[in-house]
């Protein structure tokens, strides 16, 4: 199953759970007919553990990649240093704490953060680091 399919499935689960206990026969029909945009939105709002579990990134590999490429600026514990802290709201720059937003930033960062993708980090490494940051730095 692809990561996109897993995220869509996670979105359906989150959407279904947020509706509460509806006993009508249309609730499953509504969930099954949900648009891909709604599913992606619900998946993006899922917890970091759910995002990682849905296949958006390998947290263990992300920890290794982070340690080798990111910790020197952001700190081993994400508390910052040369680079900003990765805890709490990501205010420098302001961005949502979602897998998609972190992946986009890592792929195309603004200076002074170095651009490590695609020369140093590959697509999987980027997804794994994003999943690690979401799961580890609250």
Give the containing element (helix H, strand E) for 91: strand 90-91
Whole-number pLDDT of residue 88: 86
The pLDDT value given to residue 126? 98
Q: Is the C-alpha dihedral spanning 11, 57, 87, 113 positive or negative?
A: negative
Does residue 53 sit within a domain? no
Q: Domain of 22? A: 3-46
- Judge whether 37 lies within some domain: yes
On whether both 77 and 121 belong to a single domain, the answer is: yes
To the question of pTM greater than 0.95 for the whole model, the response is no
d(CA 85, CA 76) in angstroms, rounded, equals: 11
119 plus 67 within the same structural domain: yes
pLDDT value, residue 92:
62
Same domain for 63 and 127?
yes
For residue 6, give the H/E element and its range: helix 3-18
13 prior amide bond cis, ω within 30: no
Phi, psi torsion values for 79, nearest 5 degrees: -80, -5
pLDDT of residue 119: 96
What is the predicted pLDDT for the residue at 90? Answer: 77
Residue-by-residue pLDDT tens, the chain, 138 positions: 444 433 333 333 333 333 333 433 443 333 334 444 434 434 444 444 444 445 579 999 999 999 999 999 999 999 999 999 999 887 766 788 899 999 999 999 999 999 999 999 999 999 999 999 999 998
Shared domain check, 76 and 122 = yes
- The b-or-e profile of 105-117 (16+ CB within 10 A means b, else e) is bbeeeeeebeebb
16 Cβ contact list (under 8 Å, min separation 6):
27, 31
Q: State how far the alpha carbon of 63 is from the alpha carbons of 24, 113, 127, in Å.
A: 44, 19, 11
């Amino acid at each position: 199953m692809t990561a996109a399919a897993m995220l869509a499935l996670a979105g359906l689960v989150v959407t279904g759970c947020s509706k509460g206990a509806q006993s009508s026969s249309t609730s499953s029909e509504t969930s099954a007919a949900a648009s891909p945009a709604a599913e992606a939105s619900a998946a993006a709002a899922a917890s970091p553990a759910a995002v990682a579990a849905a296949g958006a990134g390998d947290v263990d590999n992300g920890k290794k990649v982070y340690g080798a490429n990111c910790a020197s600026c952001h700190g081993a514990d994400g508390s910052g240093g040369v680079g900003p802290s990765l805890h709490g709201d990501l205010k420098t720059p302001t961005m949502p704490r979602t897998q998609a937003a972190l992946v986009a930033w890592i792929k195309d960062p603004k200076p002074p953060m170095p651009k490590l993708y695609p020369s140093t980090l590959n697509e999987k490494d980027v997804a794994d680091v994003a999943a690690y940051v979401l799961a580890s730095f609250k």
